[in-house]
Amino acid sequence: MVARDGEARAGILHTPRGPVETPVFMPVGTKGTVKGLTPGDLRAAGAGVVLGNTYHLYLRPGSDLVKEAGGLHRFMGWDGPILTDSGGFQVFSLAETRSISERGVEFASVYDGSRHVFTPELTTRVQEDLGSDVAMVLDECPPPNAPREYHEDSLERTARWAARCKEAHGKEDQALFGIVQGGLYPDLRERSLGLTVEVGFDGYAVGGLSVGESREAMLEALATTAPRLPAGKPRYFMGIGDPVGILQVIALGVDMFDCVLPTRLARHGAALTPDGRLNLKNARHRTDFGPLDPECSCETCTHYSRAYLAHLVRENELLAHRLVSLHNVWFTVDLCRQARREIRAGRFEGWSRAWISRYEEGRTA
List the CATH number of the domain containing 57: 3.20.20.105
Instruction: Please tell me whether residues 171 and 320 are part of one structural domain.
Output: no
Instruction: Please tell me whether residues 213 and 357 are part of one structural domain.
Output: no
Instruction: Please tell me whether residues 136 and 284 are part of one structural domain.
Output: no
Which of 225, 242, 259 is the last residue before a domain boundary? 259
Q: Kindly name the residue from 5, 242, 258, 334 that is annotated as catalytic.
A: 258
pLDDT at 95: 73
Strands of the chain, DSSP E: 3-5, 8-15, 18-22, 24-27, 50-53, 82-85, 99-100, 105-108, 115-118, 134-136, 175-180, 203-206, 235-237, 256-259, 270-273, 276-279
- Which sign does the torsion angle of CA 114, 65, 36, 295 carry? positive
Q: Kindly name the residue from 85, 139, 255, 293 that is annotated as catalytic.
A: 85
Do 249 and 240 meet the contact criterion of CB atoms below 8 Å apart? yes
Instruction: Please tell me whether residues 239 and 288 are part of one structural domain.
Output: no
Other CB atoms within 10 Å distance of the CB of residue 126: 24
Instruction: Please tell me whether residues 198 and 244 are part of one structural domain.
Output: yes
CA angle 98, 102, 226 (to 5 degrees): 85
Instruction: Please tell me whether residues 229 and 200 are part of one structural domain.
Output: yes
| Over residues 217-237, mean pLDDT | 97
Closest C-alpha among 256, 329, 335, 338 to residue 44: 329
DSSP 8-state code for residue 119:
-
Model confidence pLDDT, tens digit, residues 18-45: 999 999 999 999 999 999 999 999 999 9
- Which sign does the torsion angle of CA 350, 275, 252, 29 carry? negative
- For residue 289, give its domain range: 266-362
Instruction: Please tell me whether residues 64 and 185 are part of one structural domain.
Output: yes
Model confidence pLDDT, tens digit, residues 320-365: 999 999 999 999 999 999 999 999 999 999 999 999 999 999 866 6
324, β-bridge pairs = none
Instruction: Please tell me whether residues 250 and 279 are part of one structural domain.
Output: no
Instruction: Please tell me whether residues 272 and 255 are part of one structural domain.
Output: no
85 is catalytic: yes
pLDDT over 80 at 91, yes or no: no
Instruction: Please tell me whether residues 238 and 280 are part of one structural domain.
Output: no
Instruction: Please tell me whether residues 76 and 124 are part of one structural domain.
Output: yes
How many CA atoms does the CB half-sphere of 117 hold within 13 Å?
A: 7
Which of 222, 239, 259 is the last residue before a domain boundary? 259
pLDDT at 88: 72
Instruction: Please tell me whether residues 247 and 291 are part of one structural domain.
Output: no
The structural domain count of the chain equals 2
Which of 234, 259, 284 is the last residue before a domain boundary? 259
pLDDT at 45: 97
Q: Express as a percent the part of the chain with pLDDT over 70.
A: 99
